[in-house]
Copies of this chain bind each other. A is one copy, B any other.
Amino acid sequence: MNKKFDFYFDFISPYSYLAHKQIDQIKKKTNIEVIYKPILLGGLHKLSGITPHAFIPSKSKYMIKDCKIISEKFNIPFKFNSYFPINSISIMRGVFFAEEKKKLYEYINAFFDAYWKQGLNLSENKNIESVLNSISINNNEFNKFISNERIKNKLKEETNIAYDKGVFGAPSFIINNKLFWGQDRIEFVLKEINK
Asked if B58 and A168 make an inter-chain contact with CB atoms under 8 angstroms apart, the answer reads: yes
Question: Taking the nearest CB of chain B, how far is it from the CB of A41, in angstroms?
Answer: 14
Asked if B188 and A69 make an inter-chain contact with CB atoms under 8 angstroms apart, the answer reads: yes
Question: Taking the nearest CB of chain B, how far is it from the CB of A128, in angstroms?
Answer: 31
Q: Is A106 an interface residue (CB 8 A)?
A: no
Q: How many copies does the complex hold?
A: 2
For A95-131 the 0/1 string (1 means CB < 8 A from B) is 0000000000000000000000000000000000000
Q: Is A61 an interface residue (CB 8 A)?
A: yes
Point out the residues of chain B lying under 8 angstroms from A169, CB to CB. Answer: 59
Asked if A184 and B184 make an inter-chain contact with CB atoms under 8 angstroms apart, the answer reads: yes
| A181-B66, A185-B66 known; A50-B61 Cβ under 8 A | no
Asked if B179 and A62 make an inter-chain contact with CB atoms under 8 angstroms apart, the answer reads: yes
Question: Taking the nearest CB of chain B, how far is it from the CB of A50, in angstroms?
Answer: 6
Complexed CA–CA distance, A13 and B173 (Å): 24
Q: Is A48 an interface residue (CB 8 A)?
A: yes
Q: Is the interface of A mostly helix, strand, loop or mixed?
A: helix
Complexed CA–CA distance, A22 and B50 (Å): 29
Q: Is A166 an interface residue (CB 8 A)?
A: yes
Complexed CA–CA distance, A58 and B184 (Å): 19
Interface residues on A, range: 20 to 34
A48's partner among B50, B56, B73 (CB-CB below 8 A) is B56
Asked if A56 and B61 make an inter-chain contact with CB atoms under 8 angstroms apart, the answer reads: no
Question: Taking the nearest CB of chain B, how far is it from the CB of A15, in angstroms?
Answer: 12
Asked if A168 and B62 make an inter-chain contact with CB atoms under 8 angstroms apart, the answer reads: yes
Question: Taking the nearest CB of chain B, how far is it from the CB of A29, in angstroms?
Answer: 21
Point out the residues of chain B lying under 8 angstroms from A55, CB to CB. Answer: 49
Besides A49-B51, A58-B166, A66-B185, 17 new A-B residue pairs in contact (Cβ under 8 A), listed by A number: A48-B56, A48-B58, A49-B56, A50-B51, A50-B59, A51-B51, A58-B163, A58-B167, A59-B168, A59-B169, A62-B166, A62-B179, A62-B181, A65-B178, A65-B179, A66-B180, A66-B181
